A and B are shown apart, each in its own frame.
Chain A
């Protein structure tokens, strides 16, 4: 029988410092086919050998940086020789991909040599995960900056209110002094505004049903809302086309577009505002009910005012996404180069449609027009997105609930719990 091991034994054990002070588990003679946990659970701690000093897993140090840089450099050299000298790779992108793969391999081998195997795997995994995030954020920033740089060249404030009414591509870049996307901005604002007017009350009521009323039907409706949020935007467009425009109930108009956008906004705003309501503390509801208030009064005077900032954020976020939808507008608003302020009659322009109708053209000046319109559209979406985040932050500063502000952005929580 083994003697129970006490703390004294552990403290008295000779401590052997690894040359790097950086060994992964223990410098002990634990056989590789035997997990450390097995040794610990069997109670025979002494067999695990001397205890190494605690390793800070995030320690990277100058050595780590040097390894990283050296591996990157050597991989660059190897790939350069292999691809440019032997196989003639064209395009910088393929070179970057091969360089990266080669870099990971070199980095792993070198770290195994210098530190040890588990540290090498850990560092390669860290590099891999970090580069995924860097790639995603990098590409998104690249898109935003690219659109801004391309679009800002021909942008002038007048572009925001002039229309495309007398638009002659033959004029070349002189065109930009005469045309603008005013009619499309007006169209987008009206269409999205009408859509929000219809979607927001229904979405709030549904969210209140899901979170405040509860009971019969909640699971079913929540499933339906989730399923509906996956309906492709083009389907919403052809649906409105089949429902209203084929039987001539409505013509092509901003209002038809607004109904299509309503179909798309409804599930997303419902989901984000349900997430907001879930964050409102139950204690507030109970206090109100305990004072004798009815459920309706509790929702109206306690829950909704508490959730106000979060709900506004949810709406702004929904509007930002709806403003950029293109596919449903093709079948409903149809697009218009002239100003049409009446959303209920006649085809109406929209910013995404200006883009869609111009990016395929061969003439450079037309594509430049599309870039400038893209810049305006992206700015509108970005401003709304930033606004949504700032609205939350302001309420936080006033001492509101921190979680409320972020709730609409954490809509995925509703899926997993």
Chain B
């Protein structure tokens, strides 16, 4: 009787007991899961080590200068009294990154919109590949191009801006030359962050709910009205996150900036003027020049840059992840 599974369940002592399905994983699987999880936490360990060792080796610089480290500029690390600090470098880093984001992000969003909404389906993947290629081109090549091709072309324009737009305070400049300016460095970095911002925006736009998209068309919206009223509002969080991700990249860009900028500790709001430096390019250019105190200064700067970019990137990924472009709102 007990073999007939279709029989009505009996009651009492003869009732078949449920078979206990072994719920434990085999030892093999336990090891496998433990190894994989360990690998995940090794990644965390490496990130922690980066921060720890930069702070540990860079701390002597902070001890020598105290809080003045963040209000001084310069690299006087050979003779006492020491006179060095991170102010001009941090200022330059932020200015260049902001210029890069202002110039790069709108173009990246336009590119992403073109790739998701306008590009003919046949050429779309080829166009996407070309934009993605931009992320693979080494930054030294961008630097080479910027130094030998872009800069000679663009100084004419910047000197024109100085002459005719100097009623805007940031476009003032005391004197030529107009090469090696924050503006040119920001322009190159802006170009370099386009592929990454475009990639993230593309994913965000492609998540806009098709129901509302069709709905907008059904109400007679033109394509640009549909984009303005559906795609962009749904992707707003993602666009902000993508821009911050771009900002993070722009803060850390080293080679292209060091190729354009020289080495002076100018803190000036005039972005078209020659001069200025950034944390990353300062580290690369001054490496090996300042003795042991100089080395710990550079490592401290590395720690400052690491903290900057880590915070920006964490916030960015949280914003992108939270936006999700109205997932689940689909009508």
Contact = CB atoms under 8 A, between A and B. Distances in A.
- Please name the 5 residue pairs, one residue from A and one from B, whose CB atoms are nearest each other, closest first: A91-B156, A232-B252, A324-B138, A132-B110, A230-B313
A104 to B, nearest CB: 13
B133 A140 contact: yes
Contacts of B320: 415-416
Given A147-B145, A234-B254, A295-B25, A90 B156 contact: yes
A286 interface: no
Given A224-B43, A294-B29, A232 B141 contact: no
Interface in B222-257: 222-225, 227, 238, 241, 245, 248-249, 251-255
B100 interface: no
Contacts of B198: 136
Given A136-B111, A230-B313, A89 B160 contact: yes
Contacts of A137: 127, 130-131
B219 interface: yes
A326 B57 contact: no
A58 B226 CA distance: 13
Interface string B153-175: 11111011100100000000000
Contacts, number: 338
A133 B110 contact: yes
A317 B133 CA distance: 10
A93 B44 contact: no
A76 to B, nearest CB: 18
Given A137-B130, A326-B139, 19 more contacts: A94-B157, A128-B110, A136-B198, A206-B42, A230-B310, A232-B254, A234-B252, A236-B50, A241-B299, A246-B57, A266-B46, A267-B43, A294-B29, A321-B135, A326-B254, A352-B138, A356-B140, A415-B203, A417-B207
Interface in B252-311: 252-255, 259, 280, 283-284, 287, 295, 298-299, 302, 305-306, 309-310
A209 B39 contact: yes
Interface stretch (A62-70, A114-122, A153-161, A165-173): A114-122
Contact of B203 (A90, A242, A416): A416
Interface stretch (A175-183, A210-218, A304-312, A336-344): A210-218
Among A209, A297, A374, the one with the most B-chain Cβ atoms within 10 Å of its Cβ is A209
B44 A220 contact: yes
Interface of A: 24-26, 35-37, 40, 57-58, 87, 89-94, 97, 118-119, 121-122, 125-126, 128-133, 135-137, 139-141, 143-144, 146-147, 202, 205-206, 208-210, 212-213, 215-218, 220-221, 223-236, 238-239, 241-243, 246, 263, 266-267, 270, 294-297, 299, 317, 320-321, 323-327, 330-331, 352, 355-356, 359-360, 367, 370-371, 374, 377-378, 381-382, 384-385, 389, 406, 409-413, 415-417
A360 B302 CA distance: 24
Interface residues of B, number: 121
A235 B137 CA distance: 20
Contacts of B255: 326-327, 356
